[in-house]
Amino acid sequence: MKYLLKPFNNGKINLKNRLILPPMATAKSYINGRINQDILDYYDEKSKGGYISLIIIEHSYISEDGKASKNQISIAEDSVIDDLKKLSDIIHKNGSKTVMQINHAGSRALKEGNNNLRGPSTDKDDIKEIVNNFRKAAIRVKQAGFDGVEIHSAHNYLLNQFLSPITNKRNDEYGGNIQGRIKIHLKVIKAVREAVGEEFPVLLRLGATDDNDEGLTLEDAVEAAISFEKAGVNMIDISGGMCGYLPHNSNEQGYFSKQSEEIKKAVKIPVMLTGGITTPDSAERLIAYGKADFIGVGRAILKDSLWAKSAIELP
């Protein structure tokens, strides 16, 4: 495991190996998005031993109108900070670093009781409020002791809805070409960066393909990633867009390796790849062949909490 075990430190991202647990919704937050013992126990189990360099906490809603599902974790108000600190403390005690993913579900938000549903056609006052809610959420993540924050723009949630030409039909400055469709992203990144400071890592999960001829092109995904790097993002986390995390041709480990490879060539910041990676050998090869700098292993670790230990201790 020469490549998987290699440390990484570029002055902004400092991790002991290349293995990451990507964000996966647990639906364990049963009361008002709060952290409870079930959530603490889950992340304690997954991070035990510190074999995984970075644990990315599942997407957490930045405002009630952006809540994607029942039992989703909240980062929407200051009252959640103390309990989230318990979560970051457990992961740190186990020897891993941890980042929290923040999200607005957009038109995929829960409809019940939601009188302020937002989508890619939302007005500019709403955009301003959404940007501010991302900013406030990022501050809470930092106050709760996490090692960074990840902005979610994948899996057909709000920022991804702006990114994709399938869902973004605007004819103002927030639509049209790729620079218009990422205008809201650049505002969010700027607001988050100003809020957390220059030294706090900011990651962005990019839905780099819609797996659809009418969707996001690879060229546009590369251009978006270059713009995000210039805006202050420290790592790009590659996943799917309108296709979610499972494209139709999902028969090889590393579903989005074509996208991650081209983006890695175009940016200087590290690139993370997830998608159906289930064996240490596959993770090793994807890094060795220049497909990505980091590998996210999700469902294999969900099924087997000792997967990382076994991979790291391979002879």
Write out the catalytic residue numbers. 157
Name residue 67's amino acid: K
DSSP structure string for 180-218: HHTHHHHHHHHHHHHHH-SSS-EEEEEE---SSTTS--H
User: 239 and 205 in contact (C-beta within 8 Å)?
Assistant: yes
User: d(Cα 81, Cα 89) in Å, to the nearest integer?
Assistant: 12
DSSP structure string for 227-243: HHHHHT--EEEEE-STT
- In the block, which residue shows the tokens 């409020």? 129
DSSP structure string for 66-116: G--STTPPB-SSGGGHHHHHHHHHHHHHHT-EEEEEEE--GGGS--TT-SS
User: 211 and 242 in contact (C-beta within 8 Å)?
Assistant: yes
Run of H or E including 19: strand 19-21
Burial of 33 (0-12, 13-18, 19+ CB in 10 A): buried
User: d(Cα 294, Cα 291) in Å, to the nearest integer?
Assistant: 9
282-314 as b/e: b if 16+ CB within 10 A: bbbbbbeeebbbbbbbbbbbeeeeebbeebbee
